[in-house]
Structure 1
Amino acid sequence: MDCLFCKIANKEIPSRIITETENSIAFLDAFPVSRGHTLVIPKNHYEKVQDVTDVDNNDLFDTVHKVISKVDKLTGSTLLAIHNGKDSGQEIPHVHVHLIPRESDDQAGPVHSMFKNRPKFSDEELDKLCAKIKSS
């Protein structure tokens, strides 16, 4: 497999590691969007969050929980982001959690500002959508 994050996890390419456990690793993003932009990944390869085993999922989010307190000290506010699949913006098909320190003047805005053509739904459409997701 030619996965960049698997290579980082296996120490085949260098990275600026913040911490690691048996199942996950946190390191500075090589192409940061803010000072302290950190990625936390499972060491095993999974493309989507729903593919991650319970053991690796628990370890991944335990690591996120520990590292975010450190990252959050940089600015006092941190965005957590997970792109789950190519169409969501995932560029490397390996689960990764972004910890992005935010500042009031970074002009990134809230998540809703990413979507210019937001759909409008009636109450009935929302009820149907909710039922569909519940029954899946």
Structure 2
Amino acid sequence: MQSCGFCAIVAGAPAFVVLDEPDLLAFLDVRPVFKGHTLLVPREHVETLPDLPAELRDPFLEALQRLAQAMEGALGAQGSFVAVNNRVSQSVPHLHAHVIPRTKGDGLRGFLWPRHRYADDEEAEAYAARLRDGLEAPPTS
């Protein structure tokens, strides 16, 4: 896609590349939460995680594992935060996973949004049942 910023990076636009493989590319986020914040993208233009072709699932997850491990070994982080947005809050419509180095006391609190409790166990079970049904339904694409 010509208007996709990540496709432009895949095609050679300037970026601070961290991982360069035939199907995947990882580079530093230009607006990092913390220094070392890395984005992993498939080279092929794929908009969301559900769109990721089956043959890229294992390589994508394996690269995420290596990046999370590198946050600790190379940067001295105590852990990492790994996140993927699908459409909502997805600033670039090209699948990308954030791998962010973390240390205790770094100021990032849990997830980046408020939590909402279930009213009771019955409501929680109703949501669980809806999701179980959704997993059994055929994909809607």
Q: Report if TM-score (shorter chain) is over 0.5.
A: yes
Aligned to 2:31: 31
TM-score (norm 2): 0.85
- Residues 91-115 of structure 1, C-alpha deviations (whole Å, 9 max, x = no match): 111111111011223211111x621
2:124 is aligned, of 123, 126, 129, to: 126
Count of residues paired in the alignment: 131
Percent identical across equivalent pairs? 27
Shift of the alpha carbon at 1:119?
4.1
Q: What does residue 114 of structure 1 align with?
A: 113
1:57 corresponds to: 57
Q: Separation in 2 of the partners of 1:27 and 1:100?
A: 12
Correspondent of 2:83 among 62, 67, 81? 81
* Pairwise CA distance, 1:76: 2.1
Distance in 2 between the 1:120 and 1:64 partners? 31
Say if 2:78 and 2:104, in contact at 8 Å, map to a contact too: no
3-state SS of 2:25 partner: strand
Where 2:123 maps in the other structure, the secondary structure is helix
CA shift for structure 1 position 129 = 1.3
The answer on whether the counterparts of 2:37 and 2:98 sit within 8 Å (CA) in structure 1 is yes
**Which sections of structure 2, spanning at least 5 residues, go unmatched?**
135-141
Alpha-carbon separation, structure 2, partners of 1:51 and 1:5: 16
Measured on the aligned residues, the alpha-carbon RMSD in Å equals: 1.5
For structure 1, list consecutive stretches of 5 or more residues without a partner in the other structure: none
> What is the CA–CA distance in structure 2 between the aligned matches of 1:41 and 1:22, rounded to whole Å?
11
Are 1:9 and 2:10 matched, yes or no?
A: yes
Q: Distance in 2 between the 1:71 and 1:101 partners?
A: 5
- Displacement of 1:23: 0.9
Name the counterpart of 2:92.
92
Large movers: runs of 4+ above 3 Å: none
| Larger fraction in helix | 1
Alpha-carbon contact 2:118-2:124 (below 8 Å) kept:
no
Please state whether the residue corresponding to 1:135 is helix, strand or coil: helix
Give the counterpart letter for 1:15 in structure 2.
A
